[in-house]
Amino acid sequence: MSQLRALRRMASVLTTPLDPEDFFALVNPLSSARQLRGVVTRVERETADSTTIHFRPGRGWNAHEAGQWARIGVEIDGVRQWRSYSLSAAAGHDPAITVTAIGTVSTALARNTRVGDVLFLDVPQGDFVLPGHPRPLLMLTAGSGLTPVMSMIRTLVPRRPDADVVLVHCARTREDALFHDELLELADQFPGLTVKHWFTREHGTSAEDAGRRLDLSSTTDLEALCPDWRTRKAFACGPAELLDDAEALWEREGVDGTDDTGADLTIERFAPVLLPGTGGEGGVVVFEKSDKEVEAGGDVPLLDAGEGCGVVMPSGCRMGICRSCLTPLVAGKVRDLRTGEVHGDEGELIQTCVNAAAGPVHLDI
Ligand SMILES: Cc1cc2nc3c(=O)[nH]c(=O)nc-3n(C[C@H](O)[C@H](O)[C@H](O)COP(=O)(O)OP(=O)(O)OC[C@H]3O[C@@H](n4cnc5c(N)ncnc54)[C@H](O)[C@@H]3O)c2cc1C
Ligand code: FES
């Protein structure tokens, strides 16, 4: 270590005015101690819209637990943008993310990433992980919500002969279904895994009804797919409607972790739950240190408003969990888009991803 420090000191003399960190990063992009990075080692197209990106992380990365996610940063038009992605690889393997192209960052990642590209990273985090003790599991997923669960299945099923996992995965069509063939192969190979696909398009009942989603407003569909669902520890990840319905069903049926079987439901959301109609009148937002301002609608998170006018805003989950986006309020009031509550005192740290302007706002960034 002391040799490394000496080398860095020498480099500091030799590379001035370039910081030695920057110099080492030029030679080896994984060397930076300031910013965790990873080099893309493999890129696999999964479906028409989804791509798996495997990467080798540099110093400072912690091995992920199956089901966890990490913040991934990419530079788009010279601006570093961060989003969160579940790690789809099995625990103990080099990490990978599986990105579905739906917006600016995901489309850039899914369509433009090449082997050798450098990704900016933050360490894995999240509590959507396998239970400590083996239990019968039900995984309820749709679309890209399969990614954290895929990591769990890849980790658990081949290693534990006593695994008992039922996966119910919803996708529009077979072609849209992530990891379709691999899942069927795993289910063939390991009796502990049962895979039930629900292809929405195939559940249409008439010409007008071009597709029927898995219906969780009653227990009928679930009973048919997994008759003993009540006795299983359940994990769900997917679009908000699926998760809201699952939450309501588990609550209605009293399967809430308090029954004898200890069954319950753990949910991972990819987007925040915002209260409809919470947006107010909005206002001019001034980003004081960045010397920028923008007129922002009352339903636009301050984070989006800032990024929209070129301010480099700190962010993480973008859904009110991680608090990476905390920014001091200088003046004005903000509205919490999850609850509708208007708040704001001078110096208060604001979660910009879930708060919008409620009148003129000044932020210390
Ligand atoms: C913990 C966590 C794990 C995540 N894991 C994954 C993952 O494994 N794979 C993946 O593709 N994405 C994942 N996401 C979503 C991801 O972080 C981005 O939100 C998504 O890629 C859209 O970013 P964007 O810049 O392309 O679109 P933006 O322009 O930022 O957002 C477009 C809109 O899409 C909404 N949105 C976010 N995710 C979805 C979704 N899955 N389906 C429909 N709408 C959505 C956003 O709330 C936003 O309103 C995860 C998010 C979180 C918080
Ligand atoms: S970005 Fe995670 S709480 Fe705001």
Name all residues whose Cβ lies below 6 A of ligand 2.
315-318, 320-325, 351, 353
The atom number, within ligand 1, closest to the CA of 238 reads: 41
Q: Single out the residue of 93, 110, 113, 182 nearest to residue 146, CA to CA.
A: 182
Q: How confident is the model at residue 6 (pLDDT cuts 50, 70, 90)?
A: low
Q: Which residue, of 268, 288, 319, is where some domain finishes? A: 268
Nearest protein Cα to ligand 1, atom 6: 85
Residues 230 and 114 in one domain: no
CATH number at residue 341: 3.10.20.30
Quote the domain boundaries for residue 117. 35-121
What is the rounded average pLDDT of the residues 269-297? 90
Task: Let me know whether 233 and 338 are in one domain.
Answer: no
- Per the CB < 8 A criterion, the answer to whether 324 and 317 are in contact is yes
Q: How far is the CA of 206 from the centre of ligand 2 (A)?
A: 43
**Final residue belonging to a domain, choices 92, 121, 150:** 121
Answer yes or no: is 130 within a domain. no
Instruction: Render pLDDT for 299-342 as a digit per residue (tens, 0 to 9).
Output: 999 999 999 898 989 888 888 988 889 999 999 999 999 999 99
Closest approach atom of ligand 1 to CA 81: 25
What's the pLDDT band for 48 if we cut at 50, 70, 90?
Answer: very high
> Between 134 and 347, where is the model more confident?
347
Q: Does the residue 287 lie in any domain?
A: yes
Q: Give the whole-angstrom CA distance, residue 255 versus residue 264.
A: 6
Nearest CA residue ID for atom 15, ligand 1: 270
Q: In angstroms, what CA-CA distances link 347 with 104, 309, 326, 363?
A: 32, 23, 11, 9
- SS3 category, 191: coil
Residues 85, 191 share a domain: no
**Atom 24 of ligand 1, nearest CA residue:** 103
d(C-alpha 280, C-alpha 122), whole Å: 34
Asked whether residue 182 is domain-assigned, the answer is yes
Q: pLDDT tens across 49-85, in order?
A: 999 999 999 989 999 999 999 999 998 888 888 899 9
Q: How would residue 134 be classed by pLDDT, with cut points 50, 70 and 90?
A: confident
Same domain for 74 and 183, yes or no, is no
CATH of the domain at 186: 3.40.50.80
Is residue 227 located within the same domain as residue 316?
A: no
- Residue 33: per-residue pLDDT: 60
For residue 27, tell me if it sits in a domain.
Answer: no
Residue of the CA atom closest to atom 45 of ligand 1: 271
Residue 105 lies in a domain: yes
- The minimum-distance atom of ligand 2 relative to the CA of 322 is 2
How much is the CA Rg of the chain, to the nearest whole Å?
A: 23
Same domain, 297 and 236: no
Span from the CA of 9 to the centroid of ligand 1 (angstroms): 42
3-state secondary structure of 355: strand
Verify whether ligand 1 is closer than 6 Å to residue 240 (CB atom). no
Mean residue pLDDT of the chain comes to: 89
Residue 3 falls within a domain, yes or no? Answer: no
Angle value at C-alpha 319, between 251 and 149, nearest 5 degrees: 60
**For ligand 1, atom 21: residue with the closest CA:** 106
| Position 80 in a domain | yes
CB atoms within 10 A of CB 359: 17
20 by DSSP, 3-state: which?
helix
Q: What is the pLDDT of residue 275?
A: 80
**Domain finish residue from 247, 268, 289:** 268
Q: In the predicted model, is pLDDT for residue 4 greater than 90?
A: no
Look at strands 265-268 and 233-237 and give their pairing. parallel
Q: Are residues 161 and 108 in the same domain?
A: no
Sign of CA dihedral 117, 86, 32, 55: negative
Q: Enumerate the β-bridge partners of residue 280.
A: 298
Work out how many domains the chain is built from and give that number: 3
* pLDDT score of 23 more than 70: no
10 CB neighbour count, 10 Å cutoff: 11
What is the reported pLDDT for 17? 47
- Give the integer Cα–Cα distance in Å for 216 and 253: 11
Sheet of 50-57: strands edge to edge? 79-86, 69-76, 118-121, 37-45, 50-57, 96-100
20 belongs to a structural domain: no
CB atoms under 10 Å from CB of 160, counted, come to 14
239's torsion region: left (phi>0), alpha (psi -120 to 50) or beta?
beta
Distance CA 288, CA 111 (A): 35
Q: Are residues 156 and 220 in the same domain?
A: yes
CA-CA distance, 124 to 63, in Å (whole number)?
A: 8
If asked whether residues 74 and 161 sit together in one domain, one would say: no
Q: Is the CB of 319 under 6 A from ligand 1?
A: yes
Give yes or no: residues 141 and 264 share one domain.
Answer: yes
Q: Is the peptide bond before 17 cis (omega within 30 degrees of 0)?
A: yes
Helix (H, G, I), strand (E, B) or coil at 248: helix
- Distance from the alpha carbon of residue 22 to the mean position of ligand 2, in angstroms: 28
Q: Tell me which ligand sits closest to the C-alpha of residue 82.
A: 1
Angle at 188 between CA 170 and CA 68, to 5 degrees: 50
Are both 154 and 90 inside the same structural domain?
Answer: no
Spell out the residues 6+ positions from residue 239 whose beta carbon is closer than 8 angstroms to its own.
142, 143, 145
Q: pLDDT tens digit string along 135-155?
A: 899 999 999 999 999 999 999
pLDDT of 11 strictly over 70: no
Instruction: Retrieve residue 317's tokens.
Output: 């989950």
* CATH of residue 82: 2.40.30.10
Helix (H, G, I), strand (E, B) or coil at 132: coil
Report the separation in Å between the CA atom of 33 and the middle of ligand 2, taken as the mean of its atom positions.
Answer: 24
Whether 298 and 233 map to the same domain: the answer is no
* 271 alpha carbon – ligand 1 mean position (Å): 6
Does 84 sit in the ligand 1 pocket, CB within 6 Å?
yes
Ligand nearest to the CA of 95: 1
